[in-house]
Structure 1
Amino acid sequence: MRKWLLTLLITCASTQAAEQGVKAISSGRLLLSAGEIAVSIGPTPAKIERVLIVVHGRLRNAETYRQSAEHAAEQAGQSANTLVLAPQFLNETDIASHTVPDSVLRWQGNDWMAGGLSTAPFTLSSYAALDEIIARLGDRRQFPDVKQIVIAGHSGGAQVVQRYALLGHPQPALETEGVKVRYVIANPSSYAYFNEQRPVAFSHAKCPNFNRWKYGLAELPAYADGQTPAQLEENYVKRDIVYLLGQQDIDPNHPALDKSCEAKAQGASRLIRGRNYFNYLKRRHSQGLSQQLIEVPGVGHDGDGMFTSPEGQKVLFGQ
């Protein structure tokens, strides 16, 4: 087993959680510059050619998403060369509900979703944590055979992946080594826009935060320091991004749908919001947008259904 995987410190995690806390703490640990991050990691193939990083949503149920991604890999016949891992962005409530070493990173509430800084043991943006994981996977001394890294999320996890794809720091070493990076954004509640245009009319006076991060580029997190909005957009449209939308994810009253005025300005349902955002990008970059929107027929707000669908398998495991 490769050196990097040996940095996993397997511990016994309690499966009992307080009502507000996560149900289970993932047993794996990845050592980062500012502490350890909990992670759920699948079986290690003898030859790792692809790494699928799957990002959980607000429930922080990394194990569930890792299992779903592994199921999709099995169905696609890609288990033999794909390593699946799911980082777990714990918050302070989780730490209070479980016995967790002080070295494990944790965030306040849902700050991790928008790239916020950890509260302990040191400050680290959740996006910087993803940067470190991805950079390590591209290290040829430790992963000589990796050709592709796929970062995927559904629902709340897709919100994280979309914002990370927007703010994520360039990693020229990956390009030098020929490692391709793809972002798969499945059924998020909202997107980050590049200017004040929105597809739905709304009252600016009653929705003053519509263009603040995470819905727009005003008041960006510290992680984005040094990057102008123009640079962010230029980098974003060059990235290999697939918007994967369930054709039945159309309920404007879905209990997990963001119903804030900021989100409603993007459309009534997740399917409509995704179509609106992609059309917005095409209008702004009619000559230079190589990203894809792919719809999954017969599937609503169902992460497992999205990833294991023929369309999901193709974007997660196809070249």
Structure 2
Amino acid sequence: MHTRWLLVFALLFGSANLLAAEHGVKVISPGRLNLGDSELAVGVSQSSPQIQRVLIVIHGRLRNAETYRQSAEKAAEQAGQSATTLVIAPQFLNESDIARHQLPDSLLHWRGDDWMAGDLSIGPNPLSSFAVLDKILERLSDRQQFPTLKEIVIAGHSGGAQVVQRYALLGHDQPALQSAGVSVRYVIANPSSYAYFDEQRPVPFNVAHCPGFNDWKYGLLKLPDYANGQTAQQLEQGYVQRNITYLLGQRDTNPHHPALDRSCAAETQGASRLVRGHQYVDYLQQRHPEGLNQRLIEVPGVGHNGDKMFTSPEGQKALFQ
């Protein structure tokens, strides 16, 4: 790797040894993103001076960031985009990971799965997982370090796709990227649920039996502090302007899948991930018939499998266009 780029990534992400344990997350990502008074565990692919695209890939509930980094790298290689693509895989650890791996208190960590909804970390300082993504984008806007960068793709599968969908909705603007002409796209693959903009749902239900159906992260009530007081109308207007691809496995149809969100709030959106995705896009199209900068792509023969989703021809097209 070019010497200058080695120095850049040493400064940006640092290094650490891989750790493993029988319980909790198996592998702690080796990189460290310095955020001032805290650090984020992160995996980063090898790079070159010709980086034109950064692919930020978000793990699911298992917090297996390195698995997703490897899948993203494989997809880039198969698409012939490895030389110009940098893969970044942030890892949102929780309190059990810190304890079981005896990690330093300086590493950001959340309570349980709170990071999936953009909630604040519980140590070493309170920081929304969405604010962490903002900080990564801010780093990438440095034209001295990334002079040839043209686009950033934020992608996730399953629980990670839930994060990407909500971040596309609440994420703060990045004026430095905009002024540099760097575009941002989102790829949302097989999430269990989506955030709706009003009380409409595709499945009839008794509101009295599902009182939290419209609370965040399923709706826009009780938003996290990160939302900065934006109204539902403002959030929806920003979301429909995002460049988003919904990537759905044609075989992700099991209504009893062990990792499927089967809460009453999620069940109002449909029986399976494939159905929920189609019905959410139908919902958006009904509310915005003038057209969306968004599209739905099905992946034939694939169920709930992140690696197969991203490395499929359809997945490669969505990630690398």
Considering the TM-score relative to the shorter chain, is it more than 0.5?
Answer: yes
Q: How does 1:116-135 map to 2 (within 5 A)?
A: 116-135=119-138
Q: Match of 2:167?
A: 164
Query: Unaligned stretches of 5+ in structure 1?
Result: none
Q: Partners of 2:121 and 2:248 in 1: how far apart? A: 31
Displacement, 1:46?
Answer: 3.0
Supply the AA of the counterpart residue of 1:191: Y
SS in 1 for 2:83: coil
Structure 2 counterpart SS, 1:152: strand
Give the distance between the partners of 1:152 and 1:98, measured in 2 at CA. Answer: 27
CA distance in structure 2 between the partners assigned to 1:145 and 1:31 by the alignment: 23
Distance 1:28 1:230 in 2: 38
Structure 2 partner of 1:204: 207
CA contact (8 A) 1:51 1:83 kept: yes
* Contact residue 16 and residue 98 of structure 1 kept, 8 A: yes
Q: Does 1:43 align with 2:46?
A: yes
SS of 2:110's equivalent? coil
Looking at structure 2, the residues matched to 56 and 128 of structure 1 have their Cα atoms a distance apart, in angstroms, of: 17
3-state DSSP of counterpart to 1:25: coil
| CA distance in 2 between partners of 1:135 and 1:51 (Å) | 13
Q: 1:294 aligns with which of 292, 297, 301?
A: 297
Structure 2 residue aligned with 1:6? 10
SS in 1 for 2:93: coil
Q: Is 1:308 the counterpart of 2:311 in the alignment?
A: yes
Please state if 1:269 is matched with 2:264. Answer: no
Moved over 3 A (4+): 1-4
Conserved in 2, the CA contact under 8 Å of 1:159 and 1:185? yes
Structure 2: stretches of 5+ with no match in the other structure: none
Shift of 1:136: 1.0
2: CA distance, partners of 1:93 / 1:312: 33
* Distance across 1 between alignment mates of 2:67 and 2:260: 20
1:243 aligns with 2:242: no
Q: Deviations over 1:168-199 (max 9, x none)?
A: 00112211111010000000000000000000
Aligned to 1:72: 75
Match of 1:285 among 276, 288, 294: 288
CA deviations on 1:47-76 (whole Å, 9 max, x unpaired) are 111000000000000000000000100100
After TM superposition, the structure 1 = structure 2 runs for residues 134-145 of structure 1, keeping only pairs within 5 Å, are 134-145=137-148
1:93-108 mapped onto 2 (5 Å cutoff):
93-108=96-111
Letter in 2 for 1:314: K
Deviation at 1:13, TM superposition (A): 3.4
Residues matched between the structures, number: 316
Instruction: Using the TM superposition, give the Cα deviation of residue 288 of structure 1 relative to its aligned residue in structure 2, in angstroms.
Output: 3.7
Alignment partner of 1:311: what SS? helix
Shift in Å, 1:4: 4.1
Counterpart CA distance in 2 for 1:314 and 1:13 is 32
Trace 1:7-22 onto structure 2 (pairs within 5 A).
7=11, 8-17=13-22, 19=23, 21-22=24-25
List per-residue Cα deviations over 1:63-122 (Å, max 9, x = no partner): 000000001001000001000110000010100101212211111111100001011111
Task: Label 1:203 to 1:4 Cα distance change in 2 as closer, same or farther (>3 A).
Answer: farther
Which moved further from structure 2: 116-125 or 54-63? Answer: 116-125
Distance 1:184 1:119 in 2: 28
Q: 1:215 aligns with which of 215, 218, 239?
A: 218
2:63 is aligned with 1:60: yes
Shift, 1:34, TM fit: 4.4
Q: Secondary structure at the match of 1:205?
A: helix
Cα shift readout 1:239-262 (whole Å, capped 9, x = no counterpart): 100000111111111111111111
Question: Displacement, 1:138?
Answer: 1.8
TM-score normalised per structure 1: 0.97
Identity of aligned residues (%): 66
Per the TM alignment, residue 6 of structure 1 is displaced from its structure 2 partner at its CA by: 2.1
Structure 2 CA distance for aligned equivalents of residues 249 and 222 of structure 1: 33
CA 1:63 to 1:229, structure 2 compared with 1: closer, same or farther past 3 Å?
A: same
How far did residue 9 of structure 1 move? 2.1
Q: For 1:180 and 1:167, how far apart are their aligned partners in 2?
A: 17
Secondary structure at the aligned position of 1:128 is classed as helix
Q: More deviation in 179-188 or 165-174?
A: 165-174
